Chains A and B, each alone.
Chain A
Amino acid sequence: MRHDFLDRYSRLGSPIHRLPTALKLLATFSLILATVAVPFSSLWFFVVAAGLLLIVAAVSAIPWLFIFKRLLLLEPLALGIAVMALFQPNGTTIFLSIVTRSTLCLFTVILLSNTTPFENLLRALGRVGAPRILVTILALMYRYLFVLIDEGERITRARMSRTFSTNRVRRWQALASLIGQLFVRSTERAERIYAAMTARGWK
């Protein structure tokens, strides 16, 4: 089963994909910092940033529809908080400013995660000086995330083929025991992984 909803296009071969990870990380962080810090009155900056991101997106060959859909999926979360800003003096300006900024930042991160495989990001993080134990845990999480999603789907399928209830209480109970079961299986898998890691000399 394919679970590539997170970073579906991170393994393409465009010029952007082939850039060194450290460079991409640095560019992403500086662009986001600038987007957050530049005062909203200097509109030209936001236009230039948007133009730059559009060029990167075009070169990277990530389908536009995917980027658009992803933005559409994440924008409501930002809008939800931004709407609260409307209810205060000068609210419209603040609202426009944060929506512009957050959209540009979202766009930047979507481009980063879809032009860079996660293990390269982790390697770069480790080189920057992130603790080894954190990098190990992040790598394990990314590796088994998709395995657990599969596991969850298997349990869901098994339940759906056995129960027919539309009763909300029943469904909550079933979902909760699914989550509990998933936790139990995760701990069991963690034990097997530890044994396998130790057998290969991990310390």
Chain B
Amino acid sequence: MHIPDGFLDAKTAGATAALSFIGLGSSLRHASRYLPARKIPLIGLAAAFVFVAQMLNFPVASGTSGHLLGATLAAVMLGPAAAVIVMSTVLIVQALLFADGGIVSLGANVFNMAVVGPLSGYGLYRLMRVVFRGEYGRLVAVGVASWFSTVAAAIFCAGELAWSGTVAWDAAFPAMAAVHMATGLGEASITMLVIASIARTRPELLNDSIPPATVRERSTGFVLVALLVIGVLLLVAPHASDLPDGLEKVASTLGFEQRAPANPNIPAPLEDYKLPGAGSASTATIVAGLIGAIAVLALSLLLARVLVPRSRTIPPFSPAQREGEV
């Protein structure tokens, strides 16, 4: 998903660089103001860890292999602001030292994989944790969230390529979404297995009781969420504004509606609220996305049940109980 140089035009590279600059900047400000100083080395080490983890290949089918991306893993383990810094650092080093991902397109890569990735994953994780509780629920939420964050980053990548005129949306979106819906299943399984293994050996590292953020700390969150919304409106909504959902409303109130139909690249796959027939590739991709979402939920529920058998969900006895027994 690393976009090399030469694929993005000036406006896309500039806009995404600005978004990433604000995202990384506010995360860095957050880290230097609110994170305890002992967390700074941890962020550096976590970045090295993600880099190394991305080098380890998992065997998939017939000789191919995949690797962890780690955006959601970092966000769940370290919190969203730290995860943005960790993933950005990884991408900067990959671009400067390894030429993996371009210099001009670094802004776009950071936005997709270091801002959208961790934030969408973390957001969905926190939302799902409201319903799915306990050790089992954590794994389910981690699985679905890491799948979602992989797919979200890929969709943004497709949006950037389409906005640059490099690859038409109707080609980029189905291809990127389809590939990453499949690899996302791997990402979900690996992240779940890793979290389960950390939970077995060092459960205290997975402390969910995050103290409520102060008003000033929360401002970082607002900035990051605002960035995500701007990103969706800029990169995804213009291409997908013929979807029959809330996007249409948002697009029309913000004036995207006039722009979108003028774009000759996009044939309207469904006329407003008519049922989709055979539909275009984009429509088919959205249907596939729904199926993928259900598949990943099923996979996560199943894998979490394997990793946390029902018998283990009996609460462990506390020291007080033990004293009582003696």
Q: Is A54's beta carbon under 8 Å from chain B?
A: no
Are A186 and B48 interface neighbours, CB within 8 A?
yes
Smallest beta-carbon distance A195→chain B, Å: 9
Which of A113, A133, A203 is in CB contact (< 8 Å) with B99? A113
- Which chain B residues (1-29) contact chain A, with CB distance < 8 Å? 2-8, 10, 13, 24-25, 28
Smallest beta-carbon distance B118→chain A, Å: 15
Q: Is A126's beta carbon under 8 Å from chain B?
A: no
Which of B6, B25, B48 is in CB contact (< 8 Å) with A35? B6
Smallest beta-carbon distance B95→chain A, Å: 7
Number of B residues, CB within 8 Å of A: 67
Which of A11-19, A55-63, A94-102 contacts its partner? A94-102
Q: How far is the CA of A37 from the CA of B28 in the complex (A)?
A: 31
Q: Is B229's beta carbon under 8 Å from chain A?
A: no
Which of B49, B52, B68, B193 is in CB contact (< 8 Å) with A177? B193
- Which chain B residues (55-89) contact chain A, with CB distance < 8 Å? 55-56, 58-59, 68, 77, 85, 89
With contact pairs A133-B32, A184-B205 given, residues A179 and B56 touching in the complex (Cβ less than 8 Å): yes
Residues of B within 8 A of A121 (CB): 96
Q: Is A154's beta carbon under 8 Å from chain B?
A: no
Q: Is B46's beta carbon under 8 Å from chain A?
A: yes
Residues of B within 8 A of A193 (CB): 41, 45
Residues of A within 8 A of B28 (CB): 131, 133-134
Q: Give the interface size bracket for A toward B.
A: 35 or more
Are A29 and B48 interface neighbours, CB within 8 A?
no
Question: Which residue of A is nearest B31, CB measured?
Answer: A133
State the majority secondary structure of interface residues on A. helix
Question: Which residue of B is nearest A29, CB measured?
Answer: B103
Q: Is B181's beta carbon under 8 Å from chain A?
A: no
Are A148 and B161 interface neighbours, CB within 8 A?
no
Q: Is A42's beta carbon under 8 Å from chain B?
A: no
User: Which A residues form the contact surface with B (CB < 8 A)?
Assistant: 6-7, 28-29, 32-33, 35-37, 70, 74, 77-78, 81-82, 84-85, 87-88, 94, 97-102, 104-106, 109-110, 112-113, 118, 121, 131, 133-134, 136-145, 147-149, 152, 168, 171-173, 175-184, 186-187, 189-191, 193-194, 197-198, 203
Q: Given contacts A133-B31, A168-B59, A183-B49, list 4 more A-B pairs with CB under 8 A.
A: A77-B2, A77-B100, A105-B4, A137-B44
